[in-house]
């Protein structure tokens, strides 16, 4: 099952402060903690998911890496173990334990302000998928993309109100943005159906956006792809998503990368692998051959005498540059030597091979060799 975006897990926008992230996590922790939900596996998983998100987003360096590269930016060590997250929450709740938390949670206090209404909100983040060549992923490139997103209406500047007009207090909720109904001992609040939680209604909607404050627009952007990216990595473009309602800031655009396979090279992490054919005589006598690297540079490689089929040689620092590393931080290139047996021999070559077989005293009835040798 794919991981959810950490900001989505906590229900906060990317622009949130550390305090806002802590507040959102505290709310989820209270609602889903195993002490409150004994035997509820779904609540336990939500608690772990929220704890993992908080662990990353509350750390400045981890958050910066996640914002730029997604999960790849924080999973370089194979991920972290969040199975033991039932720890002391005094740093989040100021001490007192969960008994005090639940008491204040259920016993009144908190809740929504009586002023109600919804102010500007952050817009939705968008996803864009691109496919790039193998070498562009290794060395980086620039890609132009075109996509559609919501922007604030220029006519009403995102307010949704016709010029010269305005908004009036919602007659149903009197500006609170929510209505309450009593059910036994409980009072349940929900968004006002008349104003949809806004607390106000538009008398004369903008004719261009019909009161939404938003319009759809096509946009082109040049995206810088850093060297070392791989399939699944993402590039974060802040503020290039949908504009927020009520004049709110725009969300982000996440560009996800898919890399086309290469004709000769395969990649594993920051290392590259290729196969090079050599002849029987080169394998037997040794030779110096030239091998092409991903940089299109020919490098001389020495094949030792008596080289066996499948032997692997290494070219140091000829692999993929490390993502977010310096220019000289690269993986290695590994060369697998494949000894080719000629399918056809001339009369002279056949005579020489026969003579060689006699000189070597080759055994025409060899014993089987174990697989592990």
Average pLDDT, integer, range 256-275: 96
Residue 329 maps to which CATH number? 2.60.260.20
How many domains does the chain fold into?
2
Q: Is residue 263 part of a domain?
A: no
Domain ends where: 79, 111, 143? 111
Residue whose C-alpha is closest to residue 130's, from 117, 143, 113: 143
In angstroms, rounded to a whole number, what is the distance separating the alpha carbons of residues 365 and 353? 18
**Tokens 């990368």, residue?**
257
Q: Is residue 125 part of a domain?
A: no
Please write the tens of the pLDDT for every residue from 34-52.
767 777 888 888 888 988 8
Q: Is residue 211 part of a domain?
A: no
Per-residue pLDDT, 157: 86
Q: Is residue 212 part of a domain?
A: no
Angle, alpha carbons 255-24-8 (nearest 5°): 25
Per-residue pLDDT, 298: 95
Per-residue pLDDT, 141: 95
Domain assignment of residue 87, given as a range: 1-111
Q: Is residue 207 part of a domain?
A: no
Q: Is residue 285 part of a domain?
A: yes
Q: Which range in 4-8, 76-80, 163-167, 265-269 is most confidently predicted, on average pLDDT?
A: 265-269
Q: Is residue 38 part of a domain?
A: yes
Note if the pTM is more than 0.85: no
Domain ends where: 111, 145, 174? 111
Residue 14 maps to which CATH number? 1.10.287.110
In angstroms, rounded to a whole number, what is the distance separating the alpha carbons of residues 113 and 127? 34
Q: Are 274 and 299 in contact (CB under 8 A)?
A: no
Q: Is residue 36 part of a domain?
A: yes
Residue whose C-alpha is closest to residue 263's, from 132, 131, 134: 134
Domain ends where: 111, 127, 144? 111
189's tokens: 């609040």
- DSSP summary character for residue 347: H
Please write the tens of the pLDDT for every residue from 134-154.
999 999 999 999 999 999 999
């Amino acid at each position: 099952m794919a991981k959810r975006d950490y900001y989505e897990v906590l229900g906060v926008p990317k622009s949130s402060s550390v305090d806002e992230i802590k507040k959102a996590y505290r709310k989820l922790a209270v609602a889903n903690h195993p002490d409150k939900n004994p035997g509820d596996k779904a609540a336990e998983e939500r608690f772990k998911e929220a704890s993992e998100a908080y662990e990353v987003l509350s750390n400045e360096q981890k958050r910066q890496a996640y914002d730029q590269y997604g999960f790849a930016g924080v999973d370089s060590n194979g991920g972290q173990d969040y199975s033991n997250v039932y720890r002391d929450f005094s740093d989040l709740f100021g001490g007192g334990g969960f008994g005090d938390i639940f008491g204040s949670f259920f016993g009144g206090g908190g809740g929504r302000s009586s002023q109600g209404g919804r102010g500007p909100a952050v817009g939705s983040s968008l996803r864009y998928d691109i496919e790039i060549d193998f070498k562009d992923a290794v060395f980086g490139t620039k890609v132009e993309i075109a996509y559609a997103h919501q922007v604030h209406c220029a006519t009403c500047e995102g307010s949704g109100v016709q010029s010269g007009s305005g908004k009036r207090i919602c007659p149903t909720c009197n500006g609170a943005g929510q209505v309450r109904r009593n059910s036994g001992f409980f009072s349940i609040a929900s968004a006002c159906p008349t104003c949809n939680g806004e607390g106000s209604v538009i008398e004369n909607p903008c004719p261009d956006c019909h009161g939404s404050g938003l319009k759809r627009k096509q946009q082109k952007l040049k995206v810088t792809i850093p060297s070392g990216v791989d399939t699944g990595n993402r590039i974060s473009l802040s503020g290039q998503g949908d504009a927020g309602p009520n004049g709110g800031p725009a969300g982000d655009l996440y560009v996800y990368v898919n890399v086309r396979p290469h004709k000769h090279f395969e990649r594993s992490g920051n290392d590259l692998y290729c196969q090079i054919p050599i002849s029987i005589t080169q394998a037997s006598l040794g030779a110096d051959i030239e091998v092409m690297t991903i940089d299109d540079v020919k490098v001389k490689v020495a094949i030792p005498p008596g080289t066996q089929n499948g032997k692997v040689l290494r070219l140091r620092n000829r692999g993929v540059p490390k993502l977010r590393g310096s220019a000289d931080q690269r993986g290695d290139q590994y060369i697998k030597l494949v000894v080719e047996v000629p399918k056809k021999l001339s009369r002279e070559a056949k005579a020489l091979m026969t003579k060689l077989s006699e000189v070597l005293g080759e055994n025409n009835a060899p014993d089987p060799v174990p697989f592990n040798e």
